Chains A and B, each alone.
Chain A
Amino acid sequence: MRCFIERVVTNHDVTTDIKVLIPDAGLRRRMSRVIKSAVTTAIETVGGVEGIASLDGIITATGWGCLADSERFLRNVIVDKEQLLNPTPFIQSTFNTVGGQIALLGHNHCYNVTYVNRSHSFEDALLDAMMRAEDGDSEHMLLGAFDEETPSQRRIMERMGLFRKVACGEGAMFAIVGAKRNERSIAEVSTLAFPAENLSHEKVVAEYATDERTHVIYNNYAKYGLYPTSSAQCFAEAVKLVAEGTPEVVIYNEYFGATPTVIVVRCLS
């Protein structure tokens, strides 16, 4: 089982003005920070809103979802004693808001699923894309992941002692995934694995690297921070490295020392 990557874009790569990417001010003003970040990354990935129509699959992943809107909604429930609840944060706090907004912007009614499986979210979304590619259900998909950190969430997790060794992070990443290799393909995903136990760097190399020049991204929290879909940023880095000439990149990711995953991105053979 494999799939081909045509383009990857992270929130850090987006330089186009949001007003150009999302001209509708009415839509824009209701979007929270994470929705703006994810949707603009998605639109940049497909080359503008008009690129959404040709997709036959929109698969998104998030571990925490639209946290700021969820917090705002819950705060309103408490402060206003379950009365006078604003509709916008309620509507926008759902996990599939980003996938939905992308589809609405492009008037696209294709397969649209959001995976919310903690630190496996991105890998499960990738697995779905690979299975759809394998079965011929989709040929030209948008795959993405996003998470945001908020001051209150960070404070709670810090009090739990979760960020003593690594910093919390946030980010968005989207990729165009094709079922078949074409002239736009820049890399292929050859392996996606969910090991039953944590693996050392040496074991990752021994079990998954097939080339002596293989580059290994092993728990790269220092660069991206730790959050449920931080492996998606590593995925973008891997695809860019392969596009620039690295034959193979193995991404190994744990989340707070558990739930290990492995993704192998290779050059086109």
Chain B
Amino acid sequence: MEQLIQELKEHLIEELNLEEITPEDIDAEAPLFGEGLGLDSIDALEIILILEKYYGVKLANSAEAKPVFYSVKTLAEYISANRK
């Protein structure tokens, strides 16, 4: 799980162009949207692509997006449970 969290942080930095942020700066349990990294709805679309592109994971329904997208840790847990 730790390795997956580290990898996810690297993908987020790369794909979302997070300037001057290193994986160490990202708290895996902090909220991704609003506070924390302050991501927005366009970033949510980019994260959906990260899940599909790197892990083959598709979000089954939009209702589960909010808890899954809460933090890096919740994303990693969802990937672990659903990756093929």
Residues of chain A touching chain B, judged by Cβ–Cβ distance below 8 Å, are 25-26, 28-30, 80, 84-88, 91
User: Given contacts A29-B18, A29-B19, is CB(A84)–CB(B40) below 8 Å?
Assistant: no
Q: Of A28, A30, A80, which contacts B42 at CB under 8 A?
A: A30
Residues of chain B touching chain A, judged by Cβ–Cβ distance below 8 Å, are 15-19, 38, 40, 42, 45-46, 49, 52-53
Q: Of B38, B46, B49, B53, which contacts A26 at CB under 8 A?
A: B38
Residues of B within 8 A of A80 (CB): 53
Measured CB to CB, the closest approach of chain B to A28, in angstroms, equals 7
Q: Of A25, A28, A88, which contacts B46 at CB under 8 A?
A: A88
B49 touches A84 (CB 8 A): yes
Residues of A within 8 A of B18 (CB): 29
Residues of A within 8 A of B52 (CB): 84
B17 touches A29 (CB 8 A): yes
User: Given contacts A26-B38, A26-B40, is CB(A87)–CB(B19) below 8 Å?
Assistant: no
List the B residue with the shortest CB-CB distance to A19.
Answer: B19
Complex formed: what's the CA distance from A87 to B44 in Å?
10
List the A residue with the shortest CB-CB distance to B45.
Answer: A87
Complex formed: what's the CA distance from A88 to B41 in Å?
11
Measured CB to CB, the closest approach of chain B to A204, in angstroms, equals 46
A28 touches B40 (CB 8 A): no
Q: Of A25, A86, A91, which contacts B19 at CB under 8 A?
A: A25
Complex formed: what's the CA distance from A29 to B40 in Å?
12
List the A residue with the shortest CB-CB distance to B20.
Answer: A25
B42 touches A91 (CB 8 A): yes
